[in-house]
Structure 1
Amino acid sequence: MDTRIATLPAVRLIGHAVRVPLIHTGENPHIAAHVAAIPAEETRRLKDLNDTEPSGVLAVSDDLDPDRAEGSELTYLHGVATTADPPAGLDVIEVPAGTWAVFRTEGPHPAALQEAWAATATTWFPSQPWRLRPGPEIVAMLAFDAAAGTATCELWLPVEPA
């Protein structure tokens, strides 16, 4: 797996949040509907507020069930990372400073990302001196080719020494 370890200062994840059920395979229609309801100019405004890693517009999953059970609820935030005070009217997830395992994926979207997410639990974590710590799980979309249905993403998982 294409992985790096990153240490980040405290950041705020800001944007528009909603509670949705966890769906392991394929597109989550609840998330898709939420993102589709956000006007393009609002997403551009959010991008202008991004001033730290992870870069770009983010798909944030927070308040996840510890077992990641299919159908359990999570908070999904469509937003960006910032160190600044957020403008009024945006949802905010405060993230303390910490260490992150960053997994880069390329290929069919969302299948390549979902396969990498699953592989972190079955392959990567069992062979590494890291374990998940509390915190949001973040996907940064680096490139997307709608015609080909492919994407390059970074999956950011909060970690601590095992």
Structure 2
Amino acid sequence: MDYRIIQKEAFKVIGKVIKVSTKDEGHHREISEFWDKCNADGTSEKICAIDNRQNMLGISMELEDDKEQFSYMIAIEDVNNSAESGFDIREIPTANWAVFTSVGLMPYAIVNVLSRIYQEWFPATGFEQANAPMLEVYLPGNPSAQDYKCEVWVPIVKK
């Protein structure tokens, strides 16, 4: 799998958060429904309007102690330290990230890349996932297109 490793300093994000279940892969359905709802009710547009130069992010974070739920956030990087009412703000810590490119129709292409990262890439490298959020970085383009590109940023540490 093609990837690059980068370090990024801590940064803030602003957007909307939900809790999703880790049971029976239910989070894939819940996250997809969350995106559909935010796109339909104008939430995604409002988040983008905070700073339309930023890429949309999908952020998996805050795994509960019982490991049965985690938070998922649709957001943008908050480079202006916004105090936009009605949206959540979180800080993403400084981390090293393995960055993978996903190509294809969303959400299927990104689910496929995530599966390959855990089944192929982690076992074949000297890395493991760090205790930090995982990012989906949605680049400009049509997420319904077969050639749509986005990125998956997985926080990593050496084993």
What displacement does 1:82 show?
3.1
Q: Which has the higher helix share?
A: 2
Tell me which residue corresponds to 2:113.
116
> Do the aligned partners of residues 147 and 84 (structure 1) sit closer, same or farther apart at CA in structure 2, a change above 3 Å counting?
closer
What displacement does 1:103 show?
0.7
Structure 2: distance between partners of 1:11 and 1:27? 23
Amino acid in the other structure paired with 1:58: L
Q: Which has the higher strand share?
A: 1
Tell me which residue corresponds to 2:5.
5
Structure 2: distance between partners of 1:25 and 1:39? 19
Amino acid in the other structure paired with 1:57: M
User: What runs of 5+ residues in structure 2 fail to find an aligned partner?
Assistant: none
Structure 2: distance between partners of 1:64 and 1:123? 23
What displacement does 1:62 show?
1.2
Aligned length: 154
Structure 2: distance between partners of 1:92 and 1:122? 32
Structure 2: distance between partners of 1:151 and 1:66? 35
Mean CA deviation greater in 86-95 or 24-33 = 24-33
Task: Give TM-score scaled by structure 2 length.
Answer: 0.80
Tell me which residue corresponds to 2:42.
38
Structure 2: distance between partners of 1:136 and 1:23? 15
Tell me which residue corresponds to 1:85.
81
User: What runs of 5+ residues in structure 1 fail to find an aligned partner?
Assistant: 51-55
Amino acid in the other structure paired with 1:155: V
Task: Give TM-score scaled by structure 1 length.
Answer: 0.79
Structure 1: distance between partners of 2:77 and 2:8? 11
> Partner of 1:28: helix, strand, or coil?
helix
Where has structure 1 moved over 4 Å in runs of 4 or more?
65-68
2:150 is aligned with 1:153? yes
> Partner of 1:23: helix, strand, or coil?
helix
What displacement does 1:48 show?
3.6
Structure 2: distance between partners of 1:40 and 1:130? 34
RMSD: 2.8
Alignment of 1:115-134 (within 5 A): 115-134=112-131
Judge conservation of contact 2:32–2:107 (CA < 8 Å) in 1.
no
Amino acid in the other structure paired with 1:3: Y
Structure 2: distance between partners of 1:88 and 1:26? 25
What displacement does 1:6 show?
0.8
Percent same amino acid at aligned positions? Answer: 23
Structure 2: distance between partners of 1:20 and 1:35? 18
Amino acid in the other structure paired with 1:17: V
Tell me which residue corresponds to 2:70.
74
Tell me which residue corresponds to 2:51.
47
Judge conservation of contact 1:18–1:34 (CA < 8 Å) in 2.
no
